[in-house]
Structure 1
């Protein structure tokens, strides 16, 4: 699957004006785990549909009652239609320079928080609905007045969220300018029990698959495919022994496309089929 460079692929008629860009994203088909290289921090104001984002060490799912502020980086996006035939999301990109300028003007001089997560969940309310309506009107205007208004709208939403979420949002904004990258082992071990493929975990580590495999061998002295499979099968055995779930309930979560492949791998490792676990 090709990597989408965002917002670069949206910049055709529109330039990023002084580090700010608004883009109306619409879609009529589900997209599952698309690889996205996000080069600017971004508000994702979801209006119709569902969205899930896999980060290096966690994931988050939201519906149209919530919005996300996402840190720039390599992420996997899943975007799903609901009952409507269209997925609609308003994206508001801002550069690191714009963020630093805002923080200097409006927040205390706190040091960047290096262990912040890559996202902040925003509960949509009447103010945000009104803000998005004003952005829609602004987005159809290409005058210089519009560009200047966009700067004010960026400051407006940031100030509103600071008032709404207080210190939690302030600390999150400071974490966005931290240069710390998630350590390799942290990314790998956070995804041991996910259903992500090796190639997808490598992408979250900002590595090609071949580089990831070499790095993995140095860290763990074992091929990543076998290491992950053993960990996930052991997890499956533990779950089945609890007696609450059947093999058909868990094989997808363990990274297998079908029950048959899961059963074969399980029997090869433990000598019995998953159905025989009590």
Structure 2
């Protein structure tokens, strides 16, 4: 997989093979355009498929599992614009744009890829053909352009300019639904509206063990079920349940259940 990011806000991705098992904590809002191939995003509401030509706006502070696939002999390619909070706050102050309130809409919005958006992304392609040509000033200008293009849709104002922090939510319910995502404990703390210390304190009060030990046990239990009952191969399971390395998964699985995963 090749990724070109001349600066930190604009990323060009190219994958010649299926790229799976990418658990992603979305730190900032991101605008993503699929040039070729197909992207499958697995969220709380199931899987959504984005073929070439799709344009989607993803909201910050959420977990996504992504599968990137080549299609029809073409690699998966995409351009993503990261709309970070600092940039949006400066834009808000400079142009006196404020949110209408706390955003309560969908976290991922499929946008109309109209002539303006097509022209915008086409204008970025020459910069990636010649790596390093997108200077910081140009990047800033292109990021501002993306924001202004999005604001043609008034409903996106609250999406972009709601700067409120995640509120404190039911930790037990959230963790039981999201334990298979392989992201740092600090990200789970943020997603549940807590500091890291309060997250660990609340977690141990509910589950009577550390987050790391609890999540590994839950992931192994899920793996055991999928392999023994659903007859899914260990090589297809380890990523799904939150492990990044097959050999590590095999080792801790055997330690937990006293049997090789492949022997079930």
Matches within 5 A, 1:36-115: 36-55=24-43, 57-58=44-45, 61=48, 62-73=50-61, 74-106=63-95, 108-110=97-99, 113=102, 115=104
The 3-state SS of whatever aligns with 1:47 is: strand
Structure 2: runs of 5+ lacking an equivalent: 190-196, 233-264
Q: What TM-score comes out, normalization by structure 1 length?
A: 0.58
Residue matched to 1:256: 226
Question: How many residues are matched?
Answer: 213
Structure 1: runs of 5+ lacking an equivalent: 1-8, 233-251, 263-278
Paired with 2:201 and 2:74, the residues of 1 have a C-alpha distance of 44
Deviations 1:241-273 (A, max 9, x none): xxxxxxxxxxx9xx72465569xxxxxxxxxxx
State which structure, 1 or 2, has the greater radius of gyration over its C-alpha atoms: 1
Residue matched to 2:148: 159
Deviations 1:62-85 (A, max 9, x none): 222322223344532222222234
Residue matched to 1:199: 180
Please tell me whether residue 121 in structure 1 is matched to residue 107 in structure 2.
Answer: no
CA contact (8 A) 1:216 1:224 kept: no
Deviations 1:161-189 (A, max 9, x none): 211x21x21111123x3221563245346
Q: What TM-score comes out, normalization by structure 2 length?
A: 0.60
The 3-state SS of whatever aligns with 2:52 is: coil
The 3-state SS of whatever aligns with 1:124 is: coil
Paired with 2:40 and 2:95, the residues of 1 have a C-alpha distance of 31
CA contact (8 A) 1:52 1:59 kept: no
Task: Please report how far the alpha carbon of residue 99 of structure 1 lies from its aligned counterpart in structure 2 after TM superposition.
Answer: 1.0
Please tell me whether residue 178 in structure 1 is matched to residue 164 in structure 2.
Answer: yes
Paired with 2:106 and 2:96, the residues of 1 have a C-alpha distance of 20
CA contact (8 A) 2:103 2:158 kept: no
Over 3 Å counting, the alpha-carbon distance change for 1:33 and 1:204 in structure 2 is farther
Task: Please report how far the alpha carbon of residue 220 of structure 1 lies from its aligned counterpart in structure 2 after TM superposition.
Answer: 6.7
Residue matched to 1:267: none
Deviations 1:34-85 (A, max 9, x none): 1234444322211112223345x44552222322223344532222222234
Deviates more, 1:216-225 or 1:67-76: 216-225
Paired with 1:218 and 1:65, the residues of 2 have a C-alpha distance of 47
